[in-house]
Chain A
Amino acid sequence: MMWSWIPSNAALIRQLTLESAYLGIVPALLGLVISVPLGIACARWKWFYPPVLSAASILYALPSLALFIVLIPYTGITDTTVIIPLTLFSLCVLVPNVVDGMRSVPEPVRQAATAMGFGALRRLVQVELPIAVPIVIAGLRVAVVSSISLASVGQLIGVSSLGYLFTDGFQRDFPTEIVVGGVLVIALALVCDLLLVLATRLLTPWRPRRSRRAARDLAIGQPAAVLSGGAG
C-alpha cells in the first residue's frame, strides 16, 4: 500500500466520494418518494399488490450493468442513466416495506382511530404512517447501501464515481487505489446506514428499545422478500 498516494489525490478522492454519495442517495430517496404512495395503494387495494410484486421481482433480478446499458440510447452517459435503474431497484425493496409497514398497524388501532372520528387521510398521516416508519426505514437502509455499492458499477459505462478508483487502479496495476476506493464505498454505505438507524431511533421514541422487532429491523433478506411475494 502506498499511503502517500492518498493525500496527494485528496481532491480527486473527495470529488469521487461526493459523486458516489449522490449516485447512491438520490435513487434511494426517489425510490422512497415513489414507493410511499405506491405502497399505500398496494396496501389499500389488495388486488393491486401481486402484479406490482411480480413486476418488482422481475426487475430486481436484472443485473444493474445491463440496465445501465439499456438506458444509454435514451439518457446517454449521464448520472441519470445510473440513477434510474438504481431508483427502480430501490423501489423493488421499498414497496414491500411500505406495504408491510402499513400492515403492521394493529387493526384495533385503526378501528379506534376511525371510531374517534379520524378521516382516512388524517388517520394515514397521524397514525398509520408514523407506525410504519421503522419498517420503511429498514427498507430504506437496504436501498441506500445497495445503491451506493452498485453506483460504482456505473464506472464501466463511464459514469464517474468511486468506481473510477477501481478501473484506474486496475489499469495501472495499483492496489492502493483500489483498496481506498473499496474502503470508502463501504464506509460511505455504512455511515448512511448508521444515520438511518439513528433516524429511526429519533423518529420512534414510542417503540420498546430491546425487542425482537428492533433486532429484525436489520433488514434481513429484504430483496428476498420481493421475490417471495411475487411468482411463487
Chain B
Amino acid sequence: MITFEGVTKRYPGGTVAVDHLDLTVPAGQTMVLVGPSGCGKTTTLRMINRMIEPSGGRILLDGQDIHQSNPSELRRGIGYVIQQGGLFPNRTIEDNIGTVPLLIGWKKSRARARARELMKLVGLDEQLARRYPYQLSGGQQQRVGVARALAADPPVLLMDEPFSAVDPIVRATLQDELIKLQADLHKTIVLVTHDVEEAIKVGDQVAIFRPHGQIAQVDSPERLLAAPADSYVENFLGFDRGIRRLSFLAASGLNLDDRTVVGEDTAAPVAAQTARDTGEDWALVVNAGHQPRGWASASDLDALPAGSAAGQARLEPYGHTFSVHSDSLRAALDATVLSPAGRAVGVDDNGEVVGTTTYERLRVAIHAAEEAEQRAAVDLAPEAAEP
C-alpha cells in the first residue's frame, strides 16, 4: 500500500507541480492517475521511487517512509515502465529483462531462465530472447519493458504512459493483457495516463487530477461515471459518460423477449401471427441450431405462397449480437442501435439465441441497475441521507 501525506513538489522559480497531495493507493490494485498535461501526475508517480524528491510531506510504502530507505535499494523493489521503453540498446532482450535480478545478485543462468518465463507471460516469442532492442517493433519493446519491470517480482509497479507510444490496436491489446496479468499477479500498480478511456478501462481506482497538482476525485471508474464530484470532473470524463457508464452494468440483467423468435421451419402464417401478437410485426427467424438468421416482417410472411416456411421469407439482417452472459448493457445498447430492426439479439456462449431486446427493455434494465447501485451505496454508508 502506498500513502501520500500532504506531499508537495515545488520547483525553484515557483512552479508547484504537486500541491499538498493526500492519496492512498490500495495494495494489490491498479490506481490510475489521469489528468491534463502538466497536472503533476507524472511527478507524483516519480516521487514513489524517489526519481523526484518531494519538497514537503511524506510518502509511505507499506507503512515505511520511503525517504528512510536507500534510493537504489528502494528502486530495485519497484518495477518501472516508461513510455519510450528505455530498453538498454546494448543488451539482448533476455539480459534486458534480467537486469534487476542480475543487479540483486542472481546467477546469470537463473536470471535468463526467469527472463524467458516472463517473455511467455507477456506474450513474447522466446526466439526473440537473444535479439537486440532495435530488432523489435514498438509493441514488442513495450512488452519487454513490462517484463523487465516484473522480473524481480516487485510488489509495486509504476507505469508512466506505458502505452501512449504505440498505435491504437496494439495499445488495446496491451491494455487487455495488463488487465489479465493483474488478475493473476495482484501487484500494486500505479499507472499514469492522459487518456481517460484507458484509465476507466484499466483502473480499479482512478484519480483525476486538476491542473497544478491537486486531485479532483478519486473513485472507482463506475462511481466516477455515475457521480462526478464537480463540473471539472464531468467535463474531463467527456460528454458521453452516461453511455460509457453502461459498460459497467451487466447485460445479464436484461429481461429478454423470446416470444418473437420463430424457427425457420415454422409455417409462414403461424410466424406472421406470432409477429403480430407481439405488436411489433417482426419475428426473428432462427435456424435448426437456434442461431439467428434474420428478421422477417409480418407482411412479408403473409406475402409468401401457401405452404411456405418462415425461413423462406425475405430476411432483414439482424446486425450483430451481444453475449448475454459476458457483455455489458453498453454492448446491448450498441447492438440495438446498429440493428436495422431496432432490436438487438442476445445470444448465449454457444451463439444460440436467448431472446431479443427493445429500447424500452433496455431503459427498464438501466433503471433497475441504477436503483440497485444506489441501494448498495446506501447500505455501505448508513449515515448518508436517503435520496
Expressed in whole angstroms, the minimum distance between the Cβ of B147 and any Cβ of chain A is: 13
- The chain B residues found within 8 Å of chain A, CB to CB, are 49, 51, 72-76, 78, 80, 82-92, 99-100, 103, 132-134, 148, 158
Given A130-B90, A206-B89, answer yes or no on A111-B51 (Cβ-Cβ < 8 Å).
Answer: yes
The segment out of A45-53, A116-124, A183-191 that lies at the interface is A116-124
Q: Cβ of A109: which chain B residues have Cβ within 8 Å of it?
A: 86-89
Expressed in whole angstroms, the minimum distance between the Cβ of A124 and any Cβ of chain B is: 13
Q: Cβ of A208: which chain B residues have Cβ within 8 Å of it?
A: 134
Q: Are A206 and B72 in contact, with the CB atoms below 8 A?
A: no
Assembly CA distance A204 to B73 (angstroms)? 30
Q: Are B80 and A115 in contact, with the CB atoms below 8 A?
A: yes
Expressed in whole angstroms, the minimum distance between the Cβ of B96 and any Cβ of chain A is: 9
Choose from A117, A122, A207 the contact partner of B100 (Cβ within 8 Å): A117
Q: Are A131 and B89 in contact, with the CB atoms below 8 A?
A: yes
Q: Cβ of A127: which chain B residues have Cβ within 8 Å of it?
A: 88, 90
| A232 located at the interface, meaning its Cβ lies under 8 Å from any Cβ of chain B in the complex | no
Q: Cβ of A30: which chain B residues have Cβ within 8 Å of it?
A: none
Given A114-B51, A116-B75, answer yes or no on A205-B132 (Cβ-Cβ < 8 Å).
Answer: yes
Q: Cβ of A131: which chain B residues have Cβ within 8 Å of it?
A: 88-90
Q: Are B100 and A112 in contact, with the CB atoms below 8 A?
A: no
Which interface residue of A130, A204, A206, A208 has the most chain B CB atoms within 10 A?
A: A206
- The chain A residues found within 8 Å of chain B, CB to CB, are 106, 108-109, 111-119, 122, 127, 130-131, 204-208
Q: Are B84 and A118 in contact, with the CB atoms below 8 A?
A: no
Q: Cβ of B49: which chain A residues have Cβ within 8 Å of it?
A: 115
Q: Are B84 and A116 in contact, with the CB atoms below 8 A?
A: no
Q: Are B86 and A108 in contact, with the CB atoms below 8 A?
A: yes
Q: Are B89 and A115 in contact, with the CB atoms below 8 A?
A: no
Assembly CA distance A206 to B93 (angstroms)? 11
Assembly CA distance A131 to B87 (angstroms)? 12
Expressed in whole angstroms, the minimum distance between the Cβ of B61 and any Cβ of chain A is: 14
Q: Cβ of A122: which chain B residues have Cβ within 8 Å of it?
A: 103
Residue of B nearest to A132 (CB): B90
Q: Are B89 and A112 in contact, with the CB atoms below 8 A?
A: no
Assembly CA distance A138 to B86 (angstroms)? 25
Given A109-B89, A111-B82, answer yes or no on A116-B100 (Cβ-Cβ < 8 Å).
Answer: yes
Given A111-B51, A112-B80, A204-B90, answer yes or no on A118-B85 (Cβ-Cβ < 8 Å).
Answer: no
Assembly CA distance A208 to B132 (angstroms)? 9
Assembly CA distance A168 to B75 (angstroms)? 67
Expressed in whole angstroms, the minimum distance between the Cβ of B386 and any Cβ of chain A is: 49
Q: Are B89 and A116 in contact, with the CB atoms below 8 A?
A: no
Q: Cβ of B84: which chain A residues have Cβ within 8 Å of it?
A: 106, 108
Assembly CA distance A120 to B211 (angstroms)? 34
Q: Cβ of A113: which chain B residues have Cβ within 8 Å of it?
A: 86, 88
Assembly CA distance A111 to B161 (angstroms)? 14
Q: Are B72 and A117 in contact, with the CB atoms below 8 A?
A: yes
- Known: A131-B90, A206-B89; 5 extra A-B contacts, CB below 8 A, are A111-B86, A112-B82, A115-B78, A131-B88, A206-B133
Q: Are B82 and A116 in contact, with the CB atoms below 8 A?
A: no
Q: Are B87 and A117 in contact, with the CB atoms below 8 A?
A: no
Q: Cβ of A206: which chain B residues have Cβ within 8 Å of it?
A: 89-92, 132-134
Q: Cβ of B99: which chain A residues have Cβ within 8 Å of it?
A: 116
Q: Are A108 and B85 in contact, with the CB atoms below 8 A?
A: yes
Q: Are A117 and B88 in contact, with the CB atoms below 8 A?
A: no
Expressed in whole angstroms, the minimum distance between the Cβ of B72 and any Cβ of chain A is: 5
Assembly CA distance A17 to B86 (angstroms)? 47
Assembly CA distance A208 to B76 (angstroms)? 30
Given A108-B84, A207-B134, answer yes or no on A118-B72 (Cβ-Cβ < 8 Å).
Answer: yes
Assembly CA distance A119 to B71 (angstroms)? 9
Expressed in whole angstroms, the minimum distance between the Cβ of A187 and any Cβ of chain B is: 33
Expressed in whole angstroms, the minimum distance between the Cβ of A142 and any Cβ of chain B is: 23
Q: Are B85 and A115 in contact, with the CB atoms below 8 A?
A: no
Given A206-B132, A206-B134, answer yes or no on A117-B86 (Cβ-Cβ < 8 Å).
Answer: no
Q: Can you sample 10 A-B contacts with CB below 8 Å?
A: A109-B86, A109-B88, A112-B82, A113-B86, A115-B78, A115-B82, A116-B80, A116-B99, A116-B148, A127-B90
Residue of B nearest to A131 (CB): B90
Choose from A108, A118, A204 the contact partner of B103 (Cβ within 8 Å): A118
Q: Cβ of B75: which chain A residues have Cβ within 8 Å of it?
A: 114-117
Assembly CA distance A111 to B78 (angstroms)? 14
Q: Cβ of A114: which chain B residues have Cβ within 8 Å of it?
A: 51, 75
Choose from B103, B132, B133 the contact partner of A117 (Cβ within 8 Å): B103
Residue of A nearest to B158 (CB): A115
Assembly CA distance A112 to B49 (angstroms)? 11
Residue of B nearest to A105 (CB): B89
Q: Cβ of A207: which chain B residues have Cβ within 8 Å of it?
A: 89, 132, 134
Given A109-B87, A130-B90, answer yes or no on A117-B51 (Cβ-Cβ < 8 Å).
Answer: no
Q: Cβ of B100: which chain A residues have Cβ within 8 Å of it?
A: 116-117
Q: Are B86 and A112 in contact, with the CB atoms below 8 A?
A: yes
Q: Cβ of B74: which chain A residues have Cβ within 8 Å of it?
A: 117
Assembly CA distance A119 to B51 (angstroms)? 12
